Amino acid sequence: MELHCLTLRKGYLSPELAIGWQIGKYVEEFFDGLEEVWIAAARDDDAVLALSYLTRQHGHPGQVIVPETARPWDFLFYHLTTGTRLGFTLIRQRTRLPQKIRDLEPDLCVDNPAVVEIYQASLNLLIKSVLCQPVTSFCQVRQARCRRLLSKHSSDQQTSCHRCGRPVPLSQAWDIEGDICCPACTGLEPVWYTLH
């Protein structure tokens, strides 16, 4: 019903809207809500709209960011309480129209009902596929624990990051699945680890 309301508000149901909705619902169930979850998306599209809508519906608006530079994931979620990071990478061949259908796009503006019908039928099949299958059928999901070190250290004590080897003050170090890391190696968005 919520997705229906969002579709009515947007005026259409796109594959990106369906993808954002499915991933958002998966994360909501995984973390038992979205109140403590920070969200980033690689592109500002209908998926971001769906994620923003879900966060507003659950009382925590404004927590979706879109970084300005490329990222190695399509969606990233970080749960503050548990320190759990979930990264989602779309499997492109399962989330895009086939090339032969995308090749029809220039002809959609021409008065050719047969082309429009073929294109719309393929679009509907893609949306149905996204909505009827589990998220893991169209995404790779990677999970990791990312927590600030719990012990108090003076600002002059340092260690080496286990991932990149750079020196890092212990007061800024993170524990990533047992590795002591600098903030840059957490895989989190920079604004998140400065606000943590």
- pLDDT tens digits, 46-101: 999 999 999 887 666 567 999 999 999 999 999 988 999 999 999 999 999 999 99
Looking at residue 141, what is its pLDDT?
A: 97
**CB neighbours of 117 closer than 8 A, spacing ≥ 6?**
none
Looking at residue 57, what is its pLDDT?
A: 74
Instruction: Kindly give the residue spans of alpha helices, DSSP state H, lying in 90-112.
Output: 92-95, 99-102
- Residue 183 confidence (pLDDT) above 70: yes
Which of these, 168, 147, 174, lies nearest to 78 by C-alpha position?
A: 147
**CB neighbours of 77 closer than 8 A, spacing ≥ 6?**
27, 31, 37, 38, 39, 40, 85, 86, 87, 88
Gap between the Cα atoms of 170 and 157, Å rounded:
6
Average pLDDT over residues 27-35: 92
- Residue 153 confidence (pLDDT) above 60: no
- pLDDT tens digits, 89-140: 999 999 999 999 999 988 887 778 889 999 999 999 999 999 999 999 999 9
Looking at residue 149, what is its pLDDT?
A: 82
**pTM for this predicted structure:** 0.89
- pLDDT tens digits, 158-174: 899 999 999 998 888 99
Report which residue type is found at 121: A
Looking at residue 109, what is its pLDDT?
A: 78
